[in-house]
Amino acid sequence: MCGIFAYTGGRNAKPILLEGLSMLEYRGYDSAGLYLSDQGVTRTPGAVTELRAKATGESSAKSGLAHLRWATHGEPTEENAHPHTDCDSNVYIAHNGIIENFNELKQGLIARGHTFKSKTDTEVLAHMIEEELKADKSFEDAVVDTLKKVHGTYGLLISYAKEPETIITARMGSPIVLGIGKGERFIASDATPIVKHTKKMVFLEDGDIAIVTPDSHRIRTLKEASVDRKEEEISWDVGEASRGGYPHFMLKEIFEAPEVLENALRGRLIVNEGRAKLGGLESVAKQLEKLDRLMITACGTAYYAGLIGEYLIEDLAGLPVEVDVGSEFRYRKPIIGKKTAVLAVSQSGETLDTLEAMREGKRRGALTLGVVNAVGSTIARETDAGVYNHAGPEIGVASTKAFLSQVTVLALIALFLGRARSLSEEDGKKIVKALMELPELSKKVLAKSDAIKALALKYKDARDFLFIGRRYSYPVALEGALKLKETSYVHAEGCAAGEMKHGPLAMIDNKFPTVVVIPMDSVYQKTLSNMIEIKTRKGPVIAIATEGDVRVAEIADDVIYVPKTEEQLTPILSAIALQLFAYHFAAEKGLNVDRPRNLAKSVTVE
Ligand code: AGP
């Protein structure tokens, strides 16, 4: 998720663009760039401070493009920063999204003599528009005919040196907002950098293309030359705008679940073969086939995702898996054989304990793999191979969307390994079908946010919580407890449901609620018995159950129903419900949900 901003009007564009871009730093911050018609392009690793330092010199340009990158294709370097341009530096492009078919398009362009300067997917578009312009098409037609050949997601800003006042923007999957001022126009990935200048906005829809000049904007689609889009008056302040109107980044990031799940799955499923396609693992596919043991290492929420990965990979690929927290793995002298791989799971890719654990595995001869969100981060760079989450930057310290993406990617890895081993095409197809349904199913859980808020209010005075679950739901219970602990500072303990009677049950009384994660899966009856054990001790029970399960409602005090899916994927839907519960519980207490006390987003110390 990158931040893009453009301006065309009567004022000097440079200060407007740099200030606006700094408000978008929560969207991405690994590299930045600026295009001004009288200064050309300035690009730099780092964020706006570095760009400001580099983009010296006076500019009187009245229009320009700016971009803040969150790398997906190509490491965060100066060459890969946006805007990108064509062979003759006539066309300038800033892009937020992923062009899926960029490689085949690129090979065709290279064969026709184009020279590429970056490793990005985006640069392809500049060269395609260049070709259309050379075929004597108008700027508008050149863009439209180019987009007809493109697959993927984009929020685009395009400038043409020969028409500096005109900016063309297009939306497919990534947000674009148009700001309407007097004799000036603003275009951005969200309202944040615009609300300061004007409250009049048009939110483009997927498939929209807008041709924008200082005094006008016309919206069209690939098929229709003109479509109407309503103008809205936005009352948000800058803070609200950066949170997309949500009161906290944590809630915004929970509600990003559908897009995050789609981004984790995009281009990675071979539906008719029931397989997963993971480009980042292809270079080590041979070694992966011979693996006889996988050791997963991670910390905090990522560790709980790793625990679910253990169930998934043993279940679907029959490969023995061990999971350990980074801070223990690095000092426990792990036994590593020639056919052992160590998989590090990390949102930031910089967590020191996980990094050092991975390095320990490498020192002992293991193949090292990564599931990482931050492109170009240390763990991503030092592992032999891996899979990126593409979940976009996660601002809230309490990890939410990254957890969903980590579990989804681990399910893809289990499918990838399983189909290379004993998993049948039929079973593979079942998992693929269920994975593809997740984005829509997640919306059903999100729709229960208000009901979950009411539940959090009902239990707001509780000082202790127990979270229990079995099999895939056990790590979910651990994660639910962690979310409540780190956002609202109450005592919350996660426990394997079967372990309860070996101690934790002693804590239970009518003031000690238990959250039971109980989907209708292979261990449903066992978990139900545990729930009855709690009720017998007068313990209040909140159940996270499968839609249509009437039995559970007869026993539990409160039930949050989530849609049915394959057992292996139930953690993703149950986790959304627990993330919402923790969020509302903490928000109702007026706590700083995005910056909980004593915690940091990326723990780079031991
Ligand atoms: C989770 O909400 C916490 N922020 C923390 O436990 C986190 O998961 C842990 O520090 C690991 O971070 P990473 O995924 O960036 O490696």
pLDDT single digits (tens) 224-233: 999 999 998 8
Ligand 1 close to Cβ of residue 300 (< 6 A): yes
Q: Active-site residue 87, yes or no?
A: no
Alpha helix segments (H runs only) across 266-299? 279-282, 285-290
User: What integer best gives the mean pLDDT of the chain?
Assistant: 94
Task: Give me ligand 1 centre to Cα 377, in Å.
Answer: 15
d(CA 403, CA 479) in angstroms, rounded, equals 9
Closest to 481 (Cα-Cα) out of 470, 465, 497:
465
Of 28-37, 146-155, 280-289, 565-574, the range with the lowest mean pLDDT is 28-37
Helix (H, G, I), strand (E, B) or coil at 36: strand
Ligand 1 close to Cβ of residue 400 (< 6 A): no
Average pLDDT (276-296) is 95
Helix (H, G, I), strand (E, B) or coil at 411: helix
Q: What is the pLDDT of residue 375?
A: 82
Ligand 1 close to Cβ of residue 354 (< 6 A): yes
Ligand 1 close to Cβ of residue 602 (< 6 A): yes
| 174-192 tens-digit pLDDT | 889 999 999 999 999 988 8
Task: Give me ligand 1 centre to Cα 480, in Å.
Answer: 14
Ligand 1 close to Cβ of residue 379 (< 6 A): no
Of 62-71, 163-172, 436-445, the range with the lowest mean pLDDT is 62-71
Q: Which residue reads 């041709």 in tokens?
A: 211
Residue 513 corresponds to which tokens in the numbers above? 């609620």
Average pLDDT (502-520) is 97
- What's the angle, vertex CA 107, arms to CA 106 and CA 108, rounded to 5? 90
Confidence of residue 241 (pLDDT cuts 50, 70, 90): low
The one catalytic residue in 362, 443, 453, 601 is: 601
Dihedral angle of Cα 561, 566, 569, 572, to the nearest 10 degrees: -20
Q: Which residue reads 């004799």 in tokens?
A: 183
Of 168-172, 244-248, 282-286, the range with the lowest mean pLDDT is 244-248
Task: Give me ligand 1 centre to Cα 346, in Å.
Answer: 7
d(CA 174, CA 259) in angstroms, rounded, equals 10
Ligand 1 close to Cβ of residue 347 (< 6 A): yes
Ligand 1 close to Cβ of residue 348 (< 6 A): yes
Confidence of residue 173 (pLDDT cuts 50, 70, 90): confident
Q: Active-site residue 2, yes or no?
A: yes
Task: Give me ligand 1 centre to Cα 486, in Å.
Answer: 11
Q: What is the pLDDT of residue 75?
A: 77
Q: What is the pLDDT of residue 100?
A: 85
Confidence of residue 238 (pLDDT cuts 50, 70, 90): low
Q: Which CA distances in Å does 436 have to 153, 264, 594?
A: 17, 11, 30
Ligand 1 close to Cβ of residue 397 (< 6 A): yes
Closest to 1 (Cα-Cα) out of 20, 35, 26, 28:
28
Half-sphere exposure of 498 (CA within 13 A, CB side): 8
This prediction has a pTM of 0.81
Confidence of residue 371 (pLDDT cuts 50, 70, 90): very high
The one catalytic residue in 2, 299, 401, 483 is: 2
Q: What number does the ligand 1 atom closest to the CA of 379 have?
A: 16
| 456-500 tens-digit pLDDT | 999 999 999 999 999 999 999 999 999 999 999 999 999 999 999
Task: Give me ligand 1 centre to Cα 347, in Å.
Answer: 7
Task: Give me ligand 1 centre to Cα 517, in Å.
Answer: 22
Whether pLDDT at 1 is above 80: no
| 405-415 tens-digit pLDDT | 999 999 999 99
Name the residue at shortest CA distance from atom 6 of ligand 1: 300
Q: What number does the ligand 1 atom closest to the CA of 486 have?
A: 2
